[in-house]
Structure formats: structure tokens, C-alpha cells
Structure 1
Amino acid sequence: MSARTYTGSVRVALLDDHALVLKGLIAHLEKIPSILIVGSHGSSQPFRAMLAAMPVDVALIDYSLAMDDIDGVALIKLLRAAHPALRILVVSAHGSRLVIRSLLQAGAHGFVAKSQEPDEVIRAIDAVMTGREYLPPGTVSGLADNPMARLSPREWEVIRCVLEGLSVTQIANKFNRSLKTVSTQKTAAYRKLDIGKDNELHMLRAYLLASDSEVPLK
């Protein structure tokens, strides 16, 4: 475990809709005498109520909550507006560069991938408590490059249609393209955005639509 570089204790609150993940994080953090777990929740509403009722230094939150809960980007914006001094660390399995970029732009102070070693959460807390940003090794350089700018206009047309719920067949009919062409454009766009599945795309819906102006016109 890394030696911390701040003095005093740090009050930590956790949000994750997976009980096993919460229990694992809490068990690991409780080994550190300077870390005080003030509470944990599986959904955003009671979590936000807790933050309003007690002082918290660091919020460890998952990016992808239950389907009927708020999305990660919107939650971060709400937390930053309500608690400007709160340090927000996202701990998630969804760690593409586009996801991390959207979270940082929303106001998160760092990101820890669930595939990393548990001690990285301790290092991340140390970083944000001393005014530094924490990111997984190897991701910093890629964040400067906006993947949206790599999309062609036709690839962006396909992405927008997927976000609207259209199938590849429906998109092909809409633009009078072959199924093979649309499928190829969708695959190319997903590769450029570092996205593997449709659900990952939909989790970034608000961010992608807000970035419409960053796609080249031709």
C-alpha cells in the first residue's frame, strides 16, 4: 500500500449497485486507519441524501448504476454542483478512454478500473486528497485525443441512429445503404470510440449528443 501524503483522516462514502463490490471495497478501505467509511448505498437517491446530511471528503461511485437510476455523468454534475469541495472518484468496469474523458469533463477527480488491484483505490484517494488527478496507468496520453473527431459524417449518422433505437436494417433503409455498408460503418465507429457493445454506447448518450459539433462535417 502507498504511503499517504496528507494529514488527518479522510471521510469516504461509497455508491455501487453491486453489494459484493461494496463489501469488498469497504473491507479493504477499513484496513487503513486514516480512512473513515461514513456510509455506503446501492442507489443514488439515498447516497445524495447522505451527502447532504454529513460531511464527506471523497465519494467513491460506480459509473454504471441500475437501469432506473441516474447515469454517471449526470450524477457527477449534480454532486459537483451541490458539494464543490467533494472529491469524486469513479470506480467502474467501464474504462474506455471515451468514458473516462466524459467523466473528467463532468467533474470527476479520478477513475479507478475495477480490474486494477485494490490498493489502487488507496492511491487514488491519496491523489485526490492532495489535489492531484488519478487515472489508470497508460490512459493519460490517450485522453488528449477526442475520439469523436475521428468519426466520419456517415459513421456519426449511424451512431446517432443507434442512439435513437434504430437497428442496422432500419438505418440501411433510412439512408438507402446496404446492410453491409451500415454494419461496416457501425463497427468502424465503435472501434474509433473504443466501444464494444450497444449498452456502452447508450451509457454515453448524453455526452455523445452534446459533442455533436466535434464531428467533422466532411
Structure 2
Amino acid sequence: MTSPDTDAEIRVLLADDHALIRESFRALLEAEPGFRPVGEAGTGTDAVRQARRLRPDVVLMDVRMPEMDGIEATRRICADAETPAVRVLILTTFDLDEYVYAALRAGASGFQVKDATAADLLAGIRVIAGGDALLAPRITRRLIATFARQGLADPALSDSVGVTEREREVLILVARGLSNTEISRNLYITLGTVKTHIGHLLAKLAARDRAQLVVAAYEAGLVVPGS
């Protein structure tokens, strides 16, 4: 995916069923250089429609909305051939395990609760618009716990994707929430080599970004809780 130009404004679609919340987010983005709210949606159905029409860089997506919830709206946006570059940041008051897993599984590139600071929210939008994933260590831990609890991994898949031993080592560290720089230090390899390995992993596991890479890794049995 092509990242937005560093000098360009990040175009954001606001999807929340509460008008007051949308207005607050709009005011925040309008007051911050480098961001531009391009539209609002009060239902999941409208969020999908607006994403197709406006092609924003990032959708701030609430979970609980009428007509279609944010998880299903995220799944449709991320799977739509008309919106391949649109990325979704799930933003909700419901900081619950099932939403974390469901949101990432649907294709979201990040997950953040609504009580996050303005600075954290803006930083998260920048990260996602830049082509990375907002996968905080606590979210990674919850994802691991979900797989450990539900036994979602299918080890039979691990032999079919052609992941090398070094790539598996990188993948384990990605799944622990480490940055590229931290992985480089841990494995004593260059930052460029880390990026190359992650690029190969994204292709082999058909993942959009680091968030989907972690989900795919667990589902393929390439990484297991405690590894």
C-alpha cells in the first residue's frame, strides 16, 4: 500500500452514531495541522458507503452503531476492491476482548478506546495512515490470551506457507509487540533485513499490516502463546 505523502493532509472519515462525539473529533482534527476530516457517518452502512465515495486515508470507526456494527463495516471496507488503501482505526468505549479480536480479524489496523488522550489518538491516526499498525503491547497480550483460551490456531497450516526459520523468529517478536528497531537489536540483524523479512511475511501470510500479520501467525500455528 502506498503511504500518504508526508506533506499531505491525512483525510479522516468519522463513523460514530453520536453526533456530539463526531463533532468533538472533527473539532480536534480541524485544529491540528496535517489532518482533514472529510466526512461523517452515523451508521455502519453509511460508513461503508462514505468510505467508497470519499476514499479517506483512515476511518475512525465506532463498534456499536445501528444498521450495521463497526466490526462488519470494517470487514466490508477492508475487503472491498474499491477501498484497498482505506485503513480503519477502531475507536470504542467498550474495551473488551471479543472486540479486540473481532476488529483485528475483520481487517482493522488498530484499536483504541475513546478515553485515549488527544495526543495518543492523533499519533495513532498518523501511524495507521503511514502504513503501519497500531498494535499496542496490551492489545497483543489480549490477542495471545484469546488464542490460548479458544484454541484458534491450526498448526496444520504452518507447513504450507513456506516461512523460514529466521522469518519465524522475526514473526514471534512482531507478535510480542516489538518494533522493527527492537527486533533488529534482539536478533543482531540490520533494520533493513528486518523490514525485508516482514515484507516476505506479509506476502506469505496475505496480511495487510502488522496487526493482520499477528492474527495470521496465530491462526497458522506459526506462533503459539508462550513462544
Query: What TM bracket, shorter-length normalisation?
Result: 0.5 to 0.7
Give the TM-score, by structure 1 length.
0.60
Number of equivalenced pairs: 146
Structure 2 residue ranges without an equivalent (≥5): 152-227
Alignment match, 1:21: 21
Identical pairs, percent: 26
What displacement does 1:42 show? 1.0
The 5 A counterparts of 1:47-58 are: 47-58=47-58
C-alpha distance in 1 between matches for 2:117 and 2:71? 24
Measured against aligned partners, the alpha-carbon deviations of 1:25-63 in whole angstroms (never above 9, x if no partner) come to: 111111122111111121133332222222311111101
2:69 — aligned with what?
Answer: 71
User: Partners in 2 of 1:107 and 1:62 — Cα distance?
Assistant: 14
Unmatched tracts of structure 1, length 5 or more: 152-218
- In 2, distance between residues paired with 1:60 and 1:78? 15
Equivalence for 1:120: 120
Alignment partners' CA distance in 2, 1:103 and 1:21: 20
The answer to whether the 8 A contact 2:55-2:86 is kept is no
After TM superposition, where is structure 1 displaced by more than 4 Å over at least 4 residues in a row?
none
2:38 maps to what in 1? 38
Contact 1:112 1:135 in 2 (8 A): no
Deviation at 1:150, TM superposition (A): 5.7
Cα distance in 1 for partners of 2:148, 2:72 equals 20
Give secondary structure in 2 for the equivalent of 1:122: helix
Alignment of 1:95-114 (within 5 A): 95-114=95-114
Residues 1:106 and 1:47: Cα distance change in structure 2 (over 3 Å): closer
Counterpart residue type for residue 95 of structure 1: D
In structure 2, relative to structure 1, the CA distance for the partners of 1:137 and 1:113 (3 Å cut) is: farther
Look up the equivalent residue of 1:33 and give its one-letter code.
P
Letter of the 1:77 partner, please give it: R
Distance 1:98 1:6, change over 3 A: farther
Alpha-carbon deviations, 1:120-151, whole Å to 9, x = none?
A: 21011111122221145633223212267369
Cα distance in 1 for partners of 2:61, 2:38 equals 14
Deviation at 1:91, TM superposition (A): 0.8
Q: C-alpha displacement at 1:65, in angstroms?
A: 0.8
